[in-house]
Amino acid sequence: MAETKKKPAPRKKKKDEKPAPPTLEDALGWEGWHIDGLGGKSVGRVAGIHVDAEDEEPRWVLIRLGPLAGCTAIPIEHVAPGAGRLWAGYEKEWIKEAPRFRPAESLTAIQELELCAHWGIGEDQGRAAQVGDREANEISAVPAGAAGGDG
């Protein structure tokens, strides 16, 4: 009689364990997707991804708010993909109040800190802590593909 092997039990997620951040490849696949805020209200479309200028990890999802409204960015860990759309747990008006910039524009440390402040990321947390010790005008995030020159 053949011996049957037991399947290993699924790994339980620890209470404070965060989901793995998306890969750059996954995040780039979001370009053009609609993004919805609280209540399912459409906020705009994904216009691109900005990555850290040094380690090239995805940091920001750029959102085109409309043809005349321009773009802003949400921290990549503040969005969730699903069914060909992204979801952000913010009111539409709050998203529209975030600092604006052009999608092809690189971000300086001070611009990133302004975005972090808008999204409630304290100086000693997350991205704010990562860029807090950089020079104010130092380029700290670039459009995906621009880092390293060969993207």
Q: What percent of the chain is modeled with pLDDT above 90?
A: 64
Any idea what the Cα angle at residue 118 is, between residues 82 and 79, rounded to 5°?
10
Q: Tens of pLDDT along 102-146?
A: 888 999 999 999 999 999 999 899 999 999 889 999 999 999 976
Q: What is the mean pLDDT of residues 6-19?
A: 57
Q: What is the pLDDT of residue 150?
A: 43
What ranges make up the beta strands (E) of the chain? 34-36, 42-52, 58-66, 70-75, 79-82, 85-88, 107-108, 139-143
Q: What is the pLDDT of residue 83?
A: 87
- For the chain, domain boundaries: 24-146
CATH topology of domain 24-146: Photosynthetic Reaction Center; Chain H, domain 2 (3.90.50)
Spatial distance between the Cα atoms of 78 and 55, rounded to a whole number of angstroms: 20
pTM over 0.85? The answer is no
Q: What is the pLDDT of residue 109?
A: 95
Q: Tens of pLDDT along 17-56?
A: 666 778 999 999 999 999 999 988 899 999 999 999 999 9
Q: Tens of pLDDT along 53-83?
A: 999 999 999 999 987 778 999 999 999 998 8
Q: What is the pLDDT of residue 149?
A: 45
Q: Worst-scoring range by mean pLDDT, 3-12, 28-37, 92-101?
A: 3-12
Any idea what the Cα angle at residue 140 is, between residues 137 and 141, rounded to 5°?
130
Query: Residue 74 corresponds to which tokens in the numbers above?
Result: 């949400």
